[in-house]
Amino acid sequence: MRNGLRARLAADRPCVNGWLSMSNGYGAELMTRCSWDSLTVDLQHGVHDYASMVACFQGIRFSGIPPLARVASLDSGMIGKALDAGAWGIICPMINSRQEAADFVSACLYPPLGRRSNGPNRAAGYGEPQASYQSFANEEVLVIPMIETGEAVESLDDILDVPGVSGVYIGPSDLAVSMGHPPTFDTEIPEILAIYRRIVAATHRRGQFAGIHCLSADYAARMTQMGLQLVTISSDGLLMTAGALQALDRFRSGIGERE
Amino acid sequence: MRNGLRARLAADRPCVNGWLSMSNGYGAELMTRCSWDSLTVDLQHGVHDYASMVACFQGIRFSGIPPLARVASLDSGMIGKALDAGAWGIICPMINSRQEAADFVSACLYPPLGRRSNGPNRAAGYGEPQASYQSFANEEVLVIPMIETGEAVESLDDILDVPGVSGVYIGPSDLAVSMGHPPTFDTEIPEILAIYRRIVAATHRRGQFAGIHCLSADYAARMTQMGLQLVTISSDGLLMTAGALQALDRFRSGIGERE
Amino acid sequence: MRNGLRARLAADRPCVNGWLSMSNGYGAELMTRCSWDSLTVDLQHGVHDYASMVACFQGIRFSGIPPLARVASLDSGMIGKALDAGAWGIICPMINSRQEAADFVSACLYPPLGRRSNGPNRAAGYGEPQASYQSFANEEVLVIPMIETGEAVESLDDILDVPGVSGVYIGPSDLAVSMGHPPTFDTEIPEILAIYRRIVAATHRRGQFAGIHCLSADYAARMTQMGLQLVTISSDGLLMTAGALQALDRFRSGIGERE
Amino acid sequence: MRNGLRARLAADRPCVNGWLSMSNGYGAELMTRCSWDSLTVDLQHGVHDYASMVACFQGIRFSGIPPLARVASLDSGMIGKALDAGAWGIICPMINSRQEAADFVSACLYPPLGRRSNGPNRAAGYGEPQASYQSFANEEVLVIPMIETGEAVESLDDILDVPGVSGVYIGPSDLAVSMGHPPTFDTEIPEILAIYRRIVAATHRRGQFAGIHCLSADYAARMTQMGLQLVTISSDGLLMTAGALQALDRFRSGIGERE
Amino acid sequence: MRNGLRARLAADRPCVNGWLSMSNGYGAELMTRCSWDSLTVDLQHGVHDYASMVACFQGIRFSGIPPLARVASLDSGMIGKALDAGAWGIICPMINSRQEAADFVSACLYPPLGRRSNGPNRAAGYGEPQASYQSFANEEVLVIPMIETGEAVESLDDILDVPGVSGVYIGPSDLAVSMGHPPTFDTEIPEILAIYRRIVAATHRRGQFAGIHCLSADYAARMTQMGLQLVTISSDGLLMTAGALQALDRFRSGIGERE
Amino acid sequence: MRNGLRARLAADRPCVNGWLSMSNGYGAELMTRCSWDSLTVDLQHGVHDYASMVACFQGIRFSGIPPLARVASLDSGMIGKALDAGAWGIICPMINSRQEAADFVSACLYPPLGRRSNGPNRAAGYGEPQASYQSFANEEVLVIPMIETGEAVESLDDILDVPGVSGVYIGPSDLAVSMGHPPTFDTEIPEILAIYRRIVAATHRRGQFAGIHCLSADYAARMTQMGLQLVTISSDGLLMTAGALQALDRFRSGIGERE
């Protein structure tokens, strides 16, 4: 089995990613009822660890939706474990320099491109009759550094030039903070939008992609039109609580109660 | 600490209940960001067991929102465990006769009203400086049989007359199936709405309450106006996936893509 | 999605079932690398509970191998939960009479054939564009009482005549014990083999199937040739430890060490 | 491996039992640093289920301290699972009649004495080179009904006369409630102490034992001197919190602070 | 919600900290029945990981007792996860130099003081109507390096001078080992007590605090009087086993048995 | 309790190690039915994390088989946690230089040989009446770097010369990849076998041991005869699936079916 997200990105089709911050295996399985192009388990800011990531990956395997993992830090041990467990891409926070990008690539790819250790467990199941997982993993795994500091923006070309970097993922709130703004998503600050455009241009030039975390579907659509090819909309927890708040509001209006 | 849902029902205020079918402890904690009057862990059709129920109850304790449990069957062992773990009310499926109602009450209340065994664990923490949990549990715990078969409707008065029954909870889809209809929520079938009205009348006459599981906020509001005092809206999983489906649809419209 | 095991049994093809006594979700997923016709989570004698069963069912969903559950007892609450979680069949121990068989069927099937409550969670995902899971569940779910006591053998016709019984599953060791023998599998005791033949005949006559738990592949093949259509071979734990014992023995011979 | 608690009881030596209400596997393992004669996982009022019981049993196996389980109710499925998991005795709440005692024995013992189903998992590991677990389980497993209602006291002889009953365990707080007193442990109420003496006499006459749940070591010692052979002292959770309260009090006295 | 421990430390009141080495969520919840000023989940030497830490934090949230985490090492990923999960302070082992202290501060604080990434999950729930968690986190989070080697003692001023360090926590047994003594708590070795006094003086001079892990309440009181403001007494596991050992001893004396 | 594997290695006896990649605590316990000389929980390529490792260690403690851990990377925090949890040896991947070997030793040993922090939890239970665990841990814990790259082979003497290194463990598939071959076990490539011989010679010269991961018992026996003293055969998951594949094949042959 190959990485459908990679194929879709390669075909220049917009990709919309679901975000798993709270889900157990069953919640992840429920998310497959929606047509996400990929689903990412957030090991950094989500309430997740290795075991819950594996449970989510198992929950979604039947659907064919490619699983990704956002790791908590540039930790080669955990990156290897996420890939062995079947992640088709790794999003790594706080990649700010060529060296960090190179270390990140090294953790994701088998020799000679990197130093990933052999021993896929769940991922071995992606193997095909004529081709083991290991034989095509380096082509299929997406290596996605996060650009989320001013430092990273300054080192953008250095980072993108590291062989093996597939694309980048913008962390809007950390980037905003890094530029001296409050932590916000779906920003309208021109200075930051300009950075996004610069990232789009720099990635496209190299045949790479750019992604970003959005809150609203509308903003995600705008980002897509701006050239970002991988857009995340909200998260499992926010979708649930936003739905609940809306329902409660409508109910209380309906019965003429305000609280 | 007393049961806020019981007080609210006693004050004849409409109560809106959240439904936990998929949540782990963190998902339950997230649900407290919404102003539910109670939150019910569904041990019957939800993907829950005793351990995940305890985790959810712990997740919401700080909020003061009263936890309920819908058990999988009339099993006195599990009912006792749910109450000991802090459930302020038990919703029990398929109570179809006076005897079943009496057995259910017996499992929920301490002697002399029932045969619940002493040994609250988390619930002991509800005790007050001057009054142990055990001293007021019989007054505070809600005993809520489900009315969800034709048989139960026929035995309605028998069931409601059992001392200790606090109110009833309508299971709309099982009731519909039992009446020869497909399993649906938010029904408009006059025959079934007539049953709802009959249940409302019979409970009100005895100072009891009626509750029902709804999908939409609008239907829940209508039910409230029809006299049902405890209405559930949707569930954690449905709120999440409905939100996701809506977002994905909006996104794909926004970029002019149809899939 | 339909129940492939049922189709295969209906086509009179021999079916070989894998048995999950120790596996977590990953172990179950590993078992799908083998061409089992079904995989059963043993909630009775296996080290399993509801949560681990769900994890196993999620682990194997992608493979299309139909999941079954052997429950610990005739407990309608747990049977409903196993079915809602996606079991395509329930094996229930110690069904010894027409009444027990009828109660078991009732727990497995939706009205009007039984009293199963509506609310599939994972199983809802088996629904098809034109047909909800609920619309075909009664046709697809396998209801499989265990015949494992002398009492059950005497009541065999009564049990098989209960509408909704799909076939039976022989518990060889309990049956042996019940007949005054030590608890063994893969028996050669003529008295017991005669009972097996009688069960095969009685089920075939009614268009039902018979299954049995075997230890060795050879015995399972013999049972198939005797007309038993559903044969279990060993279990996850026994396969692992038998493999380990054999490897250790071979290793120690290889190095000329005996221990 | 045999049941050391049974041997010790048979030798008329006083036995002191530890109580696991909150522990995970590690907490249970820690408890083995103390010389308990047995350790009981409380599935009724403890925050435990099957999975956590297995974890506790694994945690203590190395120590040789015999594990028991107090089940939540007379549920043959769960009793079988606890025994298969290695419990050397089952304490069952609310046994009030000869029939209930007989059903309880039946769930605990293999044929011909009972109807326990064959398939020990962890317990199979107790087997000896010359004797399988199944060959001696009926001699070793302790079947311990709880006497905790006035009804049970009235049926005491009936209950004790059921073949297979090993001894009884007094539930002091439920018994007190049943006699119209508040739920208390370590009682001094003469009426209740008289019942204890009657239970001791009735069990001794039959070569059975009596046990009781105590809070303090002193009361447990008194009970031992009164002829109760199996005494539980406090519980894991109470030992921890009592120790903490005492330490905090001493600390705050030490620094001259009162809060 | 603000960090009550910080306020109490700022008010120069002695603070007594409870230590969670073995507890699951329920054990942690039980500990709130005691008036600890804070409760620390030990991810280093405790049997804890991220998931069990979250369970403990959920278990105690209702009580208002501030949760801390002692991490296993200076790992920015895990520190961020612990803070996002709601830790009001991080105790980090083996901080031996200015650089390590600076890296530790950087992992704990948001820009511009550090490089913590934005995305609190449980901690977001501490937000107030007028002030998000992020807006006050840098003021409230306690950054607590451990001083537990001779190297650290030598670098004490360097460490304390790093902006953002709130106070220090002495690891008595590692410090003893580092000074060539056996690993002990509650030491009376003059050389080491002199170091404690030096640490107290150096922290007080800067308006910081010093903490220490103690076994006995009496020693903790002495440490308080010596100027250490944050004292831990024992741990959940030690309190439980010490209580058990004492009870068993008293019981066996009571019945005249010595073992 | 001492480390039986270390004693056996010191006595120059061949040691065969079992590998836990998928097991939960019960699966690990089952593996003790086989005469492994040690059992290793694989935290790198196995589906394991800290919590599942502890469960496995608890599951096998009773057997006396020494537990080891293969960590995911050179992470001192996790190495300390594995040792505190009772690992009698640590296998660390990708040790390629003297410095990495020195850092690894430092993480495993108490001062003055290393910087391991004091606070064993489960391991404290290995203490003896006259000798605490800490007093002999440095002698008993096995420090086992993996040699699995060309770089490591070049630095072999440097690595082995680091005081505290007990022996090495060859990672055959990574080593093969590093030498430009596909990832394979049980290799016959002369160039690689020559490296194995060189490793054997270099370790023996220093009184150290060499180990290797094998698939088949036969290859493991050959490796033993070549001088490798610690050989792993297969893994829990492979033993299970290999057994299943063989049984299914035999069954299908037996009934004349080919699929």
pLDDT digits (tens, 9 = 90+) for F84-116: 999 999 999 999 999 999 999 999 999 999 999
Q: Are F75 and F103 in contact (CB under 8 A)?
A: no
Residue D257: pLDDT band by 50, 70, 90 thresholds?
A: confident
A173 CB neighbours in chain E (<8 A) are: 118-119
pLDDT in tens, E87-118: 999 999 999 999 999 999 999 999 999 999 99
Q: Which of E71, E116, E121, E135 to mutate to test the interface with A (most CBs of A within 10 A)?
A: E121
Measured in Å, how far apart are chain B's first and last C-alpha atoms?
Answer: 52
Nearest chain A Cα distance for residue F131, angstroms = 35
Predicted pLDDT at F206 = 98
Q: Which of F42, F43, F47, F215 to mutate to test the interface with A (most CBs of A within 10 A)?
A: F47
DSSP notation for E30-85: HHTTS--SEEEEESSSSS--HHHHHHHHHHHHTTTPPEEEE-SSS-HHHHHHHHHT
Joined together, the tokens standing for residue A191 give: 């200075």
Joined together, the tokens standing for residue B213 give: 């599981």
Q: Could you tell me which of B131, E89, B16, C67 has the C-alpha nearest to residue A251?
A: B16
Query: Per-domain residue ranges for chain D?
Result: 4-254
Q: Are B105 and B164 in contact (CB under 8 A)?
A: yes
Nearest-Cα residue of chain C relative to residue A62: C62
Nearest-Cα residue of chain C relative to residue D79: C72
Which residue stretches of chain B have pLDDT < 50? none
User: E119 phi and psi, to 5 degrees?
Assistant: 150, 50
B151 CB neighbours in chain C (<8 A) are: none
Q: Are D227 and D185 in contact (CB under 8 A)?
A: no
Total CB pairs under 8 A between chain D and E? 140
Peptide bond into C129 cis (omega under 30): no
F52 touches chain A (CB under 8 A): yes
B129 touches chain E (CB under 8 A): no
Place of tokens 């790594």: A92
Q: Are B217 and A247 in contact (CB under 8 A)?
A: yes
Predicted pLDDT at D17 = 98
Task: Give mean pLDDT, residues C219-239.
Answer: 98
pLDDT tens for chain A, 259 residues long, are: 999 999 999 999 999 999 999 999 999 999 999 999 999 999 999 999 999 999 999 999 999 999 999 999 999 999 999 999 999 999 999 999 999 999 999 999 999 999 999 999 999 999 999 999 999 999 999 999 999 999 999 999 999 999 999 999 999 999 999 999 999 899 999 999 999 999 999 999 999 999 999 999 999 999 999 999 999 999 999 999 999 999 999 999 999 875 5
Residues E34, A85: Cα–Cα separation, whole Å: 42
pLDDT at residue E202 above 60?
Answer: yes
F144: left (phi over 0), alpha (psi -120 to 50) or beta: beta
Residue D20: pLDDT band by 50, 70, 90 thresholds?
A: very high
Predicted pLDDT at E62 = 97
pLDDT at residue E258 above 90?
Answer: no
CATH number for the domain running over F4-254: 3.20.20.60
Distance of CA D73 to the CA centre of its chain: 14
Ranges assigned E (strand) in chain B: 15-20, 38-42, 67-70, 89-92, 142-147, 167-170, 209-214, 230-233
Q: Are E18 and E31 in contact (CB under 8 A)?
A: yes
3-state SS assignment for residue F70: strand
B80 CB neighbours in chain D (<8 A) are: 44-45, 72-73
CB pair distance less than 8 Å for E58 and B26: yes
Is the whole-model pTM more than 0.95? yes
Place of tokens 């005869």: F225
| A33 CB neighbour count, 10 Å cutoff | 16
Half-sphere exposure of B72 (CA within 13 A, CB side): 27
E247 touches chain D (CB under 8 A): yes
**Reduced 3-state DSSP string for E193-233:** HHHHHHHHHHHHHCCCEEEEEECCHHHHHHHHHCCCCEEEE
pLDDT at residue E259 above 90?
Answer: no
What contacts B231, CB < 8 A, 6 or more positions away? Answer: A251, B14, B15, B16, B17, B211, B212, B214, B220, B223, B224
Rounded to the nearest integer, the mean pLDDT of chain C is 97
A29 touches chain C (CB under 8 A): yes
CB pair distance less than 8 Å for F250 and C31: no
Residues C220, C230: Cα–Cα separation, whole Å: 9
Our separate counts of H helices and E strands in chain A read: 12, 8
Residues C22, C46: Cα–Cα separation, whole Å: 6
What contacts B133, CB < 8 A, 6 or more positions away? Answer: B120, B123, B124, B125, B126, B127
Query: Any catalytic annotation for residue B48?
Result: no
Residue type at F169?
Answer: Y
Rounded to the nearest integer, the mean pLDDT of chain D is 97
Predicted pLDDT at D64 = 97
If you ran DSSP here, which 8-state letter would residue E131 be given? B
CB pair distance less than 8 Å for E248 and D217: yes
Joined together, the tokens standing for residue F106 give: 């430092």
Chains touching chain F, criterion 3+ CB pairs below 8 Å: A, C, D, E
Joined together, the tokens standing for residue B239 give: 């709120």
Residues F184, F176: Cα–Cα separation, whole Å: 7
Place of tokens 């029904």: B187
Q: Are A228 and A195 in contact (CB under 8 A)?
A: no
Q: Are C65 and C33 in contact (CB under 8 A)?
A: no
Task: Give mean pLDDT, residues D160-188.
Answer: 96
What are the catalytic residues of E? 45
Predicted pLDDT at F257 = 79
Residues D152, D153, D156: CA angle, nearest 5 degrees: 80
Residues A197, A201, A202: CA angle, nearest 5 degrees: 115
Nearest chain D Cα distance for residue B110, angstroms = 9
Place of tokens 């049993």: D57
If you ran DSSP here, which 8-state letter would residue C9 be given? H
Residues D58, D126: Cα–Cα separation, whole Å: 13
C80 CB neighbours in chain B (<8 A) are: 44-45, 72-73
Number of residues assigned to chain F: 259
B25 touches chain E (CB under 8 A): yes
Residue type at F251?
Answer: F
Predicted pLDDT at B199 = 98
Predicted pLDDT at D258 = 59
Nearest-Cα residue of chain B relative to residue D21: B121
E51 touches chain D (CB under 8 A): no
What percent of the residues of chain C are helix, what percent strand, and what percent coil, each to the nearest 5?
Answer: 45, 15, 40
A47 touches chain E (CB under 8 A): yes
Nearest-Cα residue of chain C relative to residue D117: C174
Which residue stretches of chain F have pLDDT < 70? 258-259
A94 touches chain E (CB under 8 A): yes
- C-alpha distances out from residue E233 to A237, E18, E177, E186, E216, Å: 38, 6, 20, 10, 6
Helical packing angle, C236-254 and F236-254, nearest 10°: 100
Residues E28, E18: Cα–Cα separation, whole Å: 10
CB pair distance less than 8 Å for D55 and F122: no
CB pair distance less than 8 Å for D45 and B84: yes
Helices in chain F by DSSP H: which ranges?
A: 4-10, 25-31, 50-61, 76-84, 98-108, 133-140, 150-154, 156-161, 172-178, 190-205, 217-226, 236-254
Residues F241, C20: Cα–Cα separation, whole Å: 12
A85 touches chain F (CB under 8 A): yes
D75 CB neighbours in chain B (<8 A) are: 75, 77
Residues D103, D152: Cα–Cα separation, whole Å: 15
Predicted pLDDT at F258 = 59
**Torsion sign across C-alpha atoms D255, D258, E1, E7:** negative
Task: Give mean pLDDT, residues C139-165.
Answer: 98
Residue E257: pLDDT band by 50, 70, 90 thresholds?
A: confident
ipTM: 0.96
Q: Could you tell me which of B241, A53, E114 has the C-alpha nearest to residue C124?
A: B241
| F258 CB neighbour count, 10 Å cutoff | 7
F172 touches chain A (CB under 8 A): no
Of D47, D149, D173, the CB nearest to B54: D47
D121 touches chain F (CB under 8 A): yes
Joined together, the tokens standing for residue C78 give: 């747990």
- Looking at the DSSP bridge assignments, the partners of residue B143 are B90
Q: Are B241 and A32 in contact (CB under 8 A)?
A: no
CB pair distance less than 8 Å for C55 and A58: yes
A75 touches chain F (CB under 8 A): yes
Burial of E254 (0-12, 13-18, 19+ CB in 10 A): middle
Residues B70, B38: Cα–Cα separation, whole Å: 12
Chains touching chain A, criterion 3+ CB pairs below 8 Å: B, C, E, F
In this complex, does chain F touch chain B, defined as having at least 3 beta-carbon pairs under 8 Å apart? no
Measured in Å, how far apart are chain E's first and last C-alpha atoms?
Answer: 52
Residue type at C194?
Answer: A
Residues D177, C96: Cα–Cα separation, whole Å: 39
Of E218, E225, E242, the CB nearest to D243: E242
User: F183 phi and psi, to 5 degrees?
Assistant: -75, 110
3-state SS assignment for residue D174: helix
CB pair distance less than 8 Å for F125 and D58: no
pLDDT at residue C259 above 80?
Answer: no
CB pair distance less than 8 Å for C80 and B178: no
Residues B177, B179, B180: CA angle, nearest 5 degrees: 65
CB pair distance less than 8 Å for E117 and A148: yes
F237 touches chain C (CB under 8 A): yes
